[in-house]
Amino acid sequence: MDKLCTSPADAISDLPDGASIAVSGFGPSAGAPFSLLAALDERGTRDLCLVGNTIPPGAQTLVEAGRVRHLIVSFTARAGGSSPAEELIRKGEVTFELVPQGTLVERLRAAGAGLAALYTPTGLDTPIADGKEVRYFDGKPYLLETALPVDYAFIAGHRADRLGNVEFRGANQHFGPSFAKAAQVAIVEVDEVVEPGEIPAERIGLPGIFVARVVRKTVVSALPKHGPARRDHDVPRTYNGKPGWTRRQMAELAASLLPEGSYVNLGLGIPSYLSSYAGDRHLILHGENGILGYGEIVPDERRYPDVFNASGYPVTPSPGISYFDSVTAFEMVRGGRVDVVVLGAYQVDAEGSFANWQTDGMVGGGIGGAMDLVASGRTVMVMMEHRDSRDRPKVVQRCSYALTGKACVDILVTDLAQFRRKDGGLTVEQVAPGFTKQEVLALTGIDAATGMPTTAENP
């Protein structure tokens, strides 16, 4: 049984117009099957349905060429931004379904397991729940989500043998296994093909029974493998002519608020700074891309191939680090084993609801894994600047953007203050040096008539 194909074009030679394809990839290009996507571009196949977390650059070309009719993704664009896909959706030339990341992999896993559907707490009280069945188990509500089978899966691995057994490297497993299992035809492109038995059995991340075809990688992307170099935002913003906390100071404060020895998931943006202070608190860091026990962000990803966090930044592998797929990563979260999730946001309101995936003018958005993360019922911390780039308050009476989670924020850290949710409202516990709590509250959008309890020691 030899599953090795002579070329990417050979591997997709039977792929018809109208096919559904699950395409792996995390961040800008990690784990994206560029060779298979290039072959698909040359083939000229049309009327496609693409399934994935984001739309990798190779797939973006297909979207822009008008060869994709439907998208099932966690990101059509990053919140606050736009993309060619967003523009085509706005024009009605492409339809889409936005799916939380953990729900996406679980729907694909269910299809591969021969299950018709699943119930999940993810997405309750958000637009994702619109029109879906809600059922209660043990007094708790869950959404019905249907399984998501696909015709083909394009995934990338490190090594494979001719029987189709695949080895992944580092944190680059993420969507590969669930996408492959959901497909009638799973095609894997790899750096190296070896003979059966050369990959140690315990290092096989995807057994060959789930893989139809293997092909050697022929296209190496010129894009950065992980996230772009993080800009240093350690220059504080000023309010009333005075500096607030820098992002690093915010991260140091946030780390000090977390229980020693906690398992902590860090989201995109400002929360990623917290990894620099995790060691001092003995925090074990978790990423939904499939990594547990990483350390600080490093400037040169070549030191640690395929070791990156959920923001896409290369990180140090701490002693005891482990890697797994995204299904397992979200089992850790929804199962309540991750103690704290730390997320960025565009708005947090007086009752502790927050919004971080869609802003004004967007038709889609960037849900990512945030809804799954807050569905765990564990501690939720939000880190964000106190006011946005247009000098509008981000701490508001009620969120005007689509919700990520309702009444779930336990701790809020801005560059001016630290809040905690108590008795259904936000309480100020401390403020940045040089500011009074009255100044801080005046810079929020909380209704003065409603008021906000304050316990800050600062006057």
Distance CA(4)–CA(11), nearest Å, equals 9
Tell me: pLDDT of 163 over 80: yes
Listed in sequence order, the DSSP H helices in 65-100 are: 84-90
pLDDT value of residue 78: 80
Stretch (H or E) spanning 251: helix 247-256
Distance CA(165)–CA(151), nearest Å, equals 20
Q: Where are the domains of the chain?
A: 16-216, 239-442
Distance CA(353)–CA(387), nearest Å, equals 17
Q: Which of 86, 189, 288, 385 is catalytic?
A: 288
Contact (CB, 8 A) for 204 and 180: no
Helix or strand or coil: residue 38? helix
The tokens for 360 are 């004004």
| DSSP single-letter state for residue 210 | G
The tokens for 128 are 């994702």
Residue 413: strand pairing partners: 383, 418
Topology of domain 16-216 in CATH is: Glutaconate Coenzyme A-transferase (3.40.1080)
121: exposed, middle or buried (Cβ count in 10 Å: 0-12, 13-18, 19+): middle
User: Among candidates 288, 247, 213, 167, which has minimal Cα distance to 11?
Assistant: 213
Q: What is the pLDDT of residues 187-243, one digit of tens each?
A: 999 999 999 999 999 999 999 999 999 999 999 875 555 555 555 558 999 999 999
User: Among candidates 24, 73, 66, 72, which has minimal Cα distance to 45?
Assistant: 66
Residue with tokens 């304050």: 454
Topology of domain 239-442 in CATH is: Glutaconate Coenzyme A-transferase (3.40.1080)
pLDDT value of residue 222: 58
Confirm whether 439 is a catalytic residue: no
User: Among candidates 409, 440, 411, which has minimal Cα distance to 274?
Assistant: 411
Contact (CB, 8 A) for 355 and 347: yes
Separation of CA 64 from chain center: 24
pLDDT value of residue 82: 78
Helix or strand or coil: residue 416? coil
Contact (CB, 8 A) for 100 and 122: yes
Distance CA(212)–CA(214), nearest Å, equals 7
In this prediction, what percent of the chain has a pLDDT beyond 90? 85
Per DSSP (E only), the strands in 3-47 are 20-23
Cβ neighbors of 184 (< 8 A, separation 6 or more) are 149, 150, 151, 152, 212
Separation of CA 54 from chain center: 9
How far are the Cα atoms of 186, 190, 292, 360, 458 from residue 57, in angstroms, in the given order?
A: 20, 18, 28, 25, 50
Q: What is the pLDDT of residues 22-79, one digit of tens each?
A: 999 987 678 899 999 999 999 999 999 999 999 988 899 999 999 999 999 999 988 7
Q: What is the pLDDT of residues 299-356, one digit of tens each?
A: 765 678 899 999 888 899 999 999 999 999 999 999 999 999 999 999 999 999 999 9
104-108, 166-170, 191-195, 374-378: least confident range: 374-378
Tell me: pLDDT of 383 over 70: yes
Helix or strand or coil: residue 328? helix
How far are the Cα atoms of 259, 274, 340, 354, 372 from residue 254, in angstroms, in the given order?
A: 11, 7, 11, 18, 21
The answer to whether the 16-216 and 239-442 domains have the same CATH topology is yes
Tell me: pLDDT of 401 over 80: yes
pLDDT value of residue 337: 96
CA dihedral 198, 204, 209, 213 (to 10 degrees): -70
Reported pTM = 0.93
Listed in sequence order, the DSSP H helices in 82-227 are: 84-90, 101-112, 176-182
pLDDT value of residue 234: 81
Stretch (H or E) spanning 60: helix 57-64
